[in-house]
Amino acid sequence: INWQEAKSYQDILYHKADGVAKITINRPHKRNAFRPRTVVEMYDAFCDAREDFQIGVVLLIGAGPHDDGKYAFCAGGDQSVRGQAGYLDETGVPRLNVLDLQRLIRSMPKVVIALVAGYAIGGGHVLHVICDLTIAAENAIFGQTGPKVGSFDGGFGASYLARIVGQKKAREIWFLCRQYSAQEALAMGLVNCVVPVEQLEAEGLKWAGEILQKSPIAIRCLKAAFNADCDGQAGLQELAGNATLLYYMTEEGAEGKQAFLEKRSPDFRQYPWLP
Ligand code: 2NE
């Protein structure tokens, strides 16, 4: 694949090719832990991918291996910039902006695939949980650390995790802060498949290629429907937004607007009340 750099950032890499965007967290010396800037940059890249009509799938991956030979997807929030009320940005403002990023990944009408080699830990684990699909390398290691390091993610990080692996397993993951292998993650339905690390990106591209053959509107409606089952009124808004989009694309929907602009009564009698 002929990756083209889409935009240059400090903490991430952003590439595109053949309908696929690739966002790479590029802080291997920190096991790809994120600071506020990293999150701002990821948010910007995800927004770009969302806006791009050509892009249907986004791959999220961590740069690596590091000089010590170890891989990481993401080790969560950068504890070295954690201040009294959050992760401090370069002006000293405390932030938890990864929550904004989680919502964007969750609601964007494109498929986001996490490609996990090495550690997916803490807030980094939550990022892969939020993604639509996860492909793990054989060396992937999964786990939450919050209660060990004085933090927790009681949002998607707990509730959506429980939807995936079940209540008992999710409580175990959070309460004991253990680490789990790729095979254990596969067994609990936390990842979609496990491949050798050197095949990770190729496998992600294979899955992306299959998805890109499918109907964009069918995929976006399915993603919204899966979300709606868990996300309350926000999920319903997303799903209903797709219904509105489709309605606007009908003659019936356009008749209402046209009649208003032509200062006449709308003629909806020509449209059937389908069973
Ligand atoms: C990931 C893990 C298990 C890897 O262990 P190991 O032994 O392979 O590496 P090591 O030596 O711990 O880490 C290598 C370098 O990366 C830094 C380390 O400090 C070390 O730096 P140097 O000593 O070489 O200078 N590093 C790794 N993770 C970091 C991090 N998160 N922040 C800053 N520096 C980090 C092991 O490194 C580990 O357990 N990491 C911490 C995982 C963690 O607890 N993350 C935060 C969870 S809380 C969170 O993410 C969060 C939330 O709960 C709610 C909202 C938002 C975020």
> Which residue CA neighbors atom 35 of ligand 1 most closely?
30
pLDDT value, residue 123: 98
Is 119's C-beta closer than 6 angstroms to any atom of ligand 1?
yes
Any atom of ligand 1 within 6 Å of the Cβ of 179: no
Q: What does the pLDDT read at residue 189? A: 98
User: HSE on the CB side for 121, CA within 13 Å?
Assistant: 23
| Phi, psi of 168, rounded to the nearest 5 degrees | -60, -45
Residues in contact with 146: Cβ distance below 8 Å, sequence separation at least 6, in sequence order: 122, 152, 153, 174, 177
Answer yes or no: is the C-beta of 134 below 6 A from any ligand 1 atom: no
Q: What is the phi/psi pair of residue 22, to 5°?
A: -125, 120
**What residue type is 215 in one-letter code?**
S
**Rounded Cα gap, residues 189 and 193, in angstroms:** 9
Distance from Cα 74 to the centre of ligand 1, integer Å: 9
**Summary mean pLDDT of the chain:** 98
User: For the chain, how many residues are written?
Assistant: 275
Q: Ligand 1: does its nearest atom lie under 6 Å from the Cβ of 100? A: no
Q: What is the mean pLDDT of residues 125-145?
A: 98
Angle between helices 251-261 and 232-248 (to 10 degrees): 80
Residue 198, Cβ density class (10 Å: 0-12 exposed, 13-18 middle, ≥19 buried): exposed
Residue nearest to atom 42 of ligand 1 (CA): 75
The helix or strand, by DSSP H or E, that contains position 221, with its residue range, turns out to be: helix 216-230
Q: How far apart are CA 145 and CA 177, in angstroms?
A: 5
Q: Is residue 31 within 6 Å of ligand 1 at its C-beta?
A: yes
pLDDT at 15: 98
Using only C-alpha atoms, what is the Rg of the chain?
21
User: Is the shortest distance between the CB of 121 and ligand 1 below 6 Å?
Assistant: yes
Q: Counting atoms of ligand 1 from 1, which one is nearest the CA of 151?
A: 53
- 37 touches 95 (CB < 8 A): no
Q: How large is the average pLDDT for residues 257-272?
A: 98
Residue 51 and residue 68: Cα distance in Å, rounded?
A: 38
pLDDT in tens, 37-82: 999 999 999 999 999 999 999 999 999 999 999 999 999 999 999 9
Find out whether the beta carbon of 145 lies less than 6 Å from any atom of ligand 1: yes
Ligand 1 center–CA 99 separation, angstroms = 19
Helix (H, G, I), strand (E, B) or coil at 23: strand
Q: What's the rounded mean pLDDT across residues 86-94?
A: 97
* pLDDT at residue 235 in the model: 97
Give CA–CA dist 40/272, Å, rounded. Answer: 48
Q: What stretch of H or E contains 195? A: strand 193-195
Over residues 197-201, mean pLDDT:
98
Mutate to test the pocket of ligand 1, among 26, 27, 29, 31 (most ligand atoms within 8 A of CB): 31
**Cβ–ligand 1 contact at 71 (below 6 Å):** no
Q: Three-state DSSP class for 232?
A: helix
Q: Tell me the CA–centroid distance for residue 57 and ligand 1, in Å.
A: 28
pLDDT of residue 112: 99
What does each C-alpha distance from 151 to 39, 130, 159 come to in angstroms?
18, 18, 16
pLDDT of residue 60: 99
How far, in Å, CA of 131 to CA of 154, rounded?
17
Query: Rounded to 10 degrees, what is the CA torsion of 148, 164, 14, 57?
Result: 180
Q: How far apart are CA 180 and CA 164, in angstroms?
A: 15
Residue type, 231: D
In this prediction, residue 167 carries a pLDDT of: 98
Q: State mean pLDDT over 132-150.
A: 98
pTM confidence score: 0.98
Interval 219-263: pLDDT, tens: 999 999 999 999 999 999 999 999 999 999 999 999 999 999 999
pLDDT at 142: 99
Amino acid at 125: H
Cα distance between residue 121 and residue 138, in whole Å: 16
Q: 3-47, pLDDT tens digit by residue?
A: 999 999 999 999 999 999 999 999 999 999 999 999 999 999 999
